[in-house]
Amino acid sequence: MTYELHYWPTIQGRGEFVRLALEAGGASYIDVARGPEAAGQGVPALLRLLHEGAGAHPAFAPPMLKDGSVVVGQTAAILQYLAPTLKLVARSEQLRIWTQQIQLTIADMVTEAHDTHHPVGGNLYYEDQKPEALRRAGEFRRHRIPKFLQWFERILALNPSGSRHLVGGRLSYVDLSLFQLVQGLRYAFPLTTEECLIQAPLVVQLHDRVAAIPRVAACLGSERRLPFNEQGLFRRYPELENR
């Protein structure tokens, strides 16, 4: 079975969390809006699926994963759906629930990172909400980045199977998602993130191990890995990191 990943073609965004799982799991998939077969039809196909193609269970927004007649929206739900087949989650039901809890916490931080540059509303330009963004980013840098990173550090240290992974003793989708989160934070708030990571060495070690996984490394070095930019979730506005 070949999966279809439907996401916007010019940004990493939330679709990148799904893409990393597909890549690390060695899945056969089509990146509908990006591949050569799209020929300009990727976004229209995405919109058709969003508005018409999922029957009684439409997704609210991309990313969407199509697996035959099954369409799944929401990043955390897509990862939960894929993980057993891709062997990116433990067999234990308790550990599967714990894995999903971690993923949802990562999603919370992703939303907070996004809201540093769009604190008033997503329909407004950054320039229309700059005073609010400066205040929101200051709170995020001072309080939220260290709080989240210390929580990830703590659960790595508490993992009964050792600190190499967030859950159990082997790679899971939340390891990949934490890697992507750290990458995004390093892009958007490089100074603050590096300062906070000094206090989270286990997080740094996990990030580096994920980057070295052959399938992940191959993806990161390919055209499939778009650079971060100022249209995505993580944006670098230097004034938001002024001290």
pLDDT digits (tens, 9 = 90+) for 146-195: 999 999 999 999 999 999 999 999 999 999 999 999 999 999 999 999 99
Residue 99 and residue 173 in contact, taking contact as beta carbons nearer than 8 Å: yes
Both tokens of residue 44? 């229209």
Classify residue 228 by its DSSP letter: P
pLDDT digits (tens, 9 = 90+) for 184-241: 999 999 999 999 999 999 999 999 999 999 999 999 999 999 999 999 999 999 999 9
Q: What domains are defined for the chain? A: 3-86 (3.40.30.10), 93-213 (1.20.1050.10)
Using DSSP's 3-state secondary structure scheme, residue 63 falls into coil
pTM of the model: 0.95
- Strand order of the sheet with strand 29-31? 29-31, 3-6, 64-67, 70-73
pLDDT digits (tens, 9 = 90+) for 13-61: 999 999 999 999 999 999 988 865 555 566 888 888 888 766 778 889 9
- 67: Cβ–Cβ under 8 A, 6 or more apart, which residues? 1, 3, 4, 81
